Amino acid sequence: MTDLPPPGSPARRFVDDMIAAGAPVRAESGRLMFDVLAVGGAMAGQWVATGVSLAEVQTWPQVPPHWVHLPETVVFATTNSDTTDCPPGWRRHSREFTFTDTSISLATAWLSHVRGLLSLAIAPAA
């Protein structure tokens, strides 16, 4: 566990915005982690640990993160993923996010985006 980003920084604003949206954030080495309830797909009904690279929220809220960090146990039929900024047992998945609905907060939209990604999860091969 590491400290949260310093107050006033874009990364700390990401943390504060996520907390305001109902997703408490915890800091790990190089990543900001939060739990999301999967509402569809193979993970439906489960809380899934997810996160973003600290480097990717240095321009929040002007530029939202692109990569979503998930445990390797979360599997997709198709995905573009790698292990950059990930500890063992984790992968980050490339997912384009464009925020156009200003009737909700950007953090709420980001959480919806991650939930949508999780709804695409399939059961891992046996």
Predicted confidence pLDDT, tens digits, the chain (126 residues) = 579 999 999 999 999 999 999 999 999 999 999 999 999 999 999 999 999 999 999 999 999 999 999 999 999 999 999 999 999 999 999 998 887 778 899 999 999 999 999 999 998 776
Q: Has residue 58 been placed in a domain? A: yes
Alpha helices in 1-126 (DSSP H): 10-20, 106-118
Q: Has residue 2 been placed in a domain? A: no
Apex 120 CA angle, 114 and 122, nearest 5: 125
As a whole number of angstroms, the longest Cα–Cα distance in the chain is 47
Q: DSSP letter for 41, please.
A: G
Distance CA 106, CA 82 (A): 25
Predicted confidence at residue 126, as pLDDT, reads 60
Number of domains, the chain: 1
Is there a cis peptide before residue 61, judged by omega within 30 degrees of 0?
yes
Q: Has residue 27 been placed in a domain? A: yes
pTM for the structure as a whole: 0.92
